[in-house]
Structure 1
Amino acid sequence: MASIKKRGENSYQITVSCGYDGTGKKIVKTKTITLESSLTAKQIDKEVQKQAVLFEKEVEDGTYLDGGKLTFAEFTERWIKDYAEKQLQPKTFLRYKDMLDSRILPAIGHIKLQKLQPNHLLQFYNNLEEDGIRLDIKYSVKPEFNELMKQRGLRIVDLSRSAKVGTETIRRIRSGSSITAKTAEKLCKTLNVKMDTLFIKEEVGHLSGQSIKHHHRLISSILTNAVQWQCILNNPAARVKPPKVEKTEASHFDEEMTEHMLTLLEEEPLKYKTMIYLAVYSGSRLGEVAGLEWSDVDFENNLLRICRASQYLPGKGTFTKSPKNDSSQRIITMPPLVMDLLKEYKAWQNEERLKCGDQWQDHDRLFTQWNGKPIFPSTPTIWFKDFRRKHDLPDVKFHGLRHTNASLLIGHGVDVQTVAKRLGHTKATTTTSVYSHFLRKPDTEAADKLQNLFSNKKDTSKQA
């Protein structure tokens, strides 16, 4: 049973015994509550008894968290188990776990939760701005890597099995993507060559302001839960401002370059041409494009339904998930030229299915591997990178096609609310924030129209 002791005028200490530890010492949990002074004696007694029962149950169930004794690391462990693993998307959870394990917990994990102050966080953010703080040392691949694979007649799948490196990772390496030191070491060991023969170590710099802001948001989110779970009274991260992040224009193709790129696609494989057209004309995210199924295409009404995304995570492989948020599930009207391209592509895919015969695995996906299995989510990214290099196009990544879609719509006077709905943004303010640079052009044109309108009238009156 919980015992109750009056501490101050309106405060009470509740104590629950939890047996004895290995040395025979009695284990007790205590909690102090403060009640409103306006309560009557009867109300106070009722509330204290209620809180005592609740506290005793928390202790028995093992759900009570003592903010005075818990370190930030210990609370984070509980936060991961009770919140993050259940509520966060897999990719988000993996990114948060990496930030916690690599930098946040080594720096502030030892501090008691109730002792954590804004100055601790400020010092941590200042450290993140120093050169050499990055832990993700990357290695750039040399041309010798592809040449060596060709000389030895190595297939991607063969190297993948021998080095225990994913086939998708090797594909990215072959297209010029950077990799971690661990992956580079595995490959070099398997190929029996020195690291500097195939890879170049990239310079280690400091974290960007945006990365530091992500660390701040994660810490603040964890501490917000600590407040909600009554472990601390307030959130120290709420009194700290992370480094200011300079807003940059979202990378995209302008109208002229988009037209040039679409022209170049006429000479490319139909599958990849269709991917790019869908990305440009729908503004869909990479995972949304990779996750499209034929049941999502309404040829009769020229509609495209976005209701799933394909994603890849190390250790988990390729999997299907719901889109980023509720508003991401949407139906987009597509122009007839894209629907005609989809019909042509569907006919081509049906021919490929017949060629494969029993080897074809029918998943109803638009974009598949040779045997009908869903494509790796990064395949469009890798192909588009090679395509840009081949035609000397600006360095706009696949996600930049989404930005291209938004910039073209806004530039041609489509209202922000409609653009937000097509992109799957929860609020139009998100669209306004991300594409503020693009919104200036229509705004300037509107000002020019007003200038011309009244200037013309003034000039006419003078002539009269």
Structure 2
Amino acid sequence: MATVRKRKLKNGRLVYDIQVRIKDKGSGEEIVETSTWRADENMNEKKADNEAVIVADKFEKEVIASISGCSARSDPLTITFRDFANNWLEQTKRKWTLSYYVISKRALDFACSRIGGYKVKELTPAIIQNFFNEIDNRTHNVSIITPKPNFKEILKSYGFDYKNLRYDYHVQAATLSHALRGQSVGVKWSNELCRATKIPFNKLFDTIEKKEPYAWETNNKIKRTVRAVLSLAKKNRLVEDNFAQADYIDYPKKVTTPIRFMDDKTAVTFFDFLMSYHNLRIKTAMLIFLLTGFRRGEVCGLEWHDIDFEKRTISVERSVVYVSGYGVFQKEPKTEGSKRTITVAQVLINVLKEYRESWLKMREDCGDYIKPSDKLFTSQKGDLINPATLETWIKIVIRDSGMEHFTLHSLRHTNITLQIAKGIPLVTVAARAGHSRTSTTSDIYSHFIKTSDENAADALDNFFNHKNN
């Protein structure tokens, strides 16, 4: 029941304190929620009292919705997809991570702009299929930046060449090489080059605007969220079935793109370069990625007590993520299987010991300027480090090494594929990677598993042929 208490402020305005007490039938606990409503200053007292009752009734239904997952139980025939989706979001906010909530909210903002006005019971497979087709047919504008045919000559006329751009102006080497070969480059990189050289953009580059479809994963997030909302609607008996399932809807297959990783020779070259790298902080972070295969959020969440120097183990207990509009925060790892302890190479333990000495000295030198923290990597003031910062670090390392472009996730792929290539059992590879199921590993790295399988067959063939000979 909702109770309303009226107050009058010094300025004469009426304020109504609303309290709702609901007993959760599942747990037996009493849940108390409060809200405050201020009457419009031009509203007379009688009208304000009546309006407060309406507001209190609405608030009570919202509280019931947050507990039961569906305010529509009182009126299941009229609730719209928009209202039910908002109820689902409230549950998501309490049950799941903030990043999942934000992704779901963005997906539902778009979905509700198209099908939000339909009553949940009105959503047929045809309506949902038409909406999903619209999602797949969407396009967005993309700018393709290509260097002018005489790109190299223009740079030379302004006194620039590959060497001074790379070492004096710290231009990313791999992208510069692409540009000198006439390959397309990114908008951000091309603008940064023009700012550094003070050469007008239209002298160095041509821009082609084109429309491209949205990425499969971007579209699938919207569909997946709609399917989750209608799954709850089915549980609440608002619909006879979830018409967003594959039983009713055509889902285009995901276009798989080859994963990017370092081959044996490149990985060794990268490792050797890191071992002599001048920045110990960046060096340590990159070696952790290469030698453990951890995700970037997991590396950002590492604390010194997660490392057992005697047993040569590192434990993953938490992750750090950035969510647009909310900032950087710490959360549980991606899945339950992501919490793990793995044994690491002695060379990494040695580097970590060296880094810890440097870390302790830095902490002592900075004193109160830096916040207390046990994290291996933090911001300059000791706050949680943004995972994007580590992406910047690998760009710096790649630029300094002169290697082709690789990302932090490329290092994870490299670590996993090297283990498979060396014949490490798949169950061990999956556990070290933090995959909850071995099938996840086999699906992503199926090509390399097949290659290892063929190598195993060849090895057996050679063995038995040798015996026969």
Is the TM value for this pair above 0.5? yes
What's 1:104 paired with? 111
What's 2:97 paired with? 89
Flag the 1:202–1:350 CA change in 2: closer, same or farther, 3 A: farther
Flag the 1:112–1:358 CA change in 2: closer, same or farther, 3 A: closer
- Normalising by structure 1, report the TM-score: 0.69
Q: CA deviation at 1:126?
A: 2.4
- Distance in 1 (alpha carbons) for counterparts of 2:101 and 2:186: 24
- Distance in 2 (alpha carbons) for counterparts of 1:201 and 1:228: 49
* 1:79 maps to 2:88: yes
- Normalising by structure 2, report the TM-score: 0.68
* 1:122 maps to 2:129: yes
What's 1:369 paired with? 379
Flag the 1:372–1:226 CA change in 2: closer, same or farther, 3 A: same
Flag the 1:78–1:134 CA change in 2: closer, same or farther, 3 A: farther
* 1:133 maps to 2:139: yes
Flag the 1:356–1:65 CA change in 2: closer, same or farther, 3 A: same
SS at match of 1:236: coil
Flag the 1:400–1:66 CA change in 2: closer, same or farther, 3 A: farther
- Segments of 5+ residues of structure 2 without an aligned counterpart are 1-49, 52-63, 148-184, 192-200
What's 1:400 paired with? 410
SS at match of 1:432: helix
Flag the 1:303–1:445 CA change in 2: closer, same or farther, 3 A: same
Cα shift readout 1:428-450 (whole Å, capped 9, x = no counterpart): 11111111122122111022224
* Greater mean alpha carbon deviation, residues 66-75 or residues 216-225: 66-75
Contact 1:360 1:371 in 2 (8 A): yes
- Distance in 1 (alpha carbons) for counterparts of 2:324 and 2:133: 31
> How large is the Cα RMSD of the aligned pairs?
3.4
Q: CA deviation at 1:65?
A: 5.7
Q: Choose which of 303, 314, 318 in structure 1 pairs with 2:324.
A: 314
What's 1:162 paired with? none
Cα shift readout 1:206-254 (whole Å, capped 9, x = no counterpart): 1123332332222211111111111111011112131111223322112
Contact 1:128 1:206 in 2 (8 A): no
- Distance in 1 (alpha carbons) for counterparts of 2:324 and 2:418: 35
Give the residue type in structure 2 aligned to 1:267.
Answer: Y
- Distance in 1 (alpha carbons) for counterparts of 2:277 and 2:463: 46
Cα shift readout 1:162-184 (whole Å, capped 9, x = no counterpart): xxxxxxxxxxxxxx9879xxxx9
Contact 2:81 2:118 in 1 (8 A): yes
SS at match of 2:270: helix
What's 1:27 paired with? none
Contact 1:216 1:242 in 2 (8 A): no
Contact 1:65 1:231 in 2 (8 A): no
- Distance in 2 (alpha carbons) for counterparts of 1:98 and 1:247: 25
What's 2:396 paired with? 386
Cα shift readout 1:51-83 (whole Å, capped 9, x = no counterpart): xxxx9xx99x956164432222221111112x2
- Distance in 2 (alpha carbons) for counterparts of 1:230 and 1:414: 48
Q: Choose which of 407, 424, 428 in structure 1 pairs with 2:434.
A: 424
What's 2:14 paired with? none
Q: Choose which of 269, 275, 293 in structure 2 pairs with 1:260.
A: 269
What's 2:21 paired with? none
Q: CA deviation at 1:255?
A: 1.7
* 1:209 maps to 2:236: no
Give the residue type in structure 2 aligned to 1:133.
Answer: T
- Distance in 2 (alpha carbons) for counterparts of 1:202 and 1:293: 46
Matches within 5 A, 1:322-361: 322-361=332-371
Contact 1:290 1:377 in 2 (8 A): yes
* Greater mean alpha carbon deviation, residues 361-370 or residues 403-412: 361-370
Matches within 5 A, 1:159-170: none
SS at match of 2:244: helix
Q: CA deviation at 1:408?
A: 0.9
Q: CA deviation at 1:375?
A: 2.2
Count of residues in Structure 1 that have an aligned counterpart in Structure 2: 355
What's 1:25 paired with? none
Cα shift readout 1:16-60 (whole Å, capped 9, x = no counterpart): xxxxx99xxxxxxxxxxxxxxxxxxxxxxxxxxxxxxxx9xx99x
- Distance in 1 (alpha carbons) for counterparts of 2:100 and 2:186: 22
Give the residue type in structure 2 aligned to 1:227.
Answer: K
- Segments of 5+ residues of structure 1 without an aligned counterpart are 1-20, 23-54, 143-175, 185-194
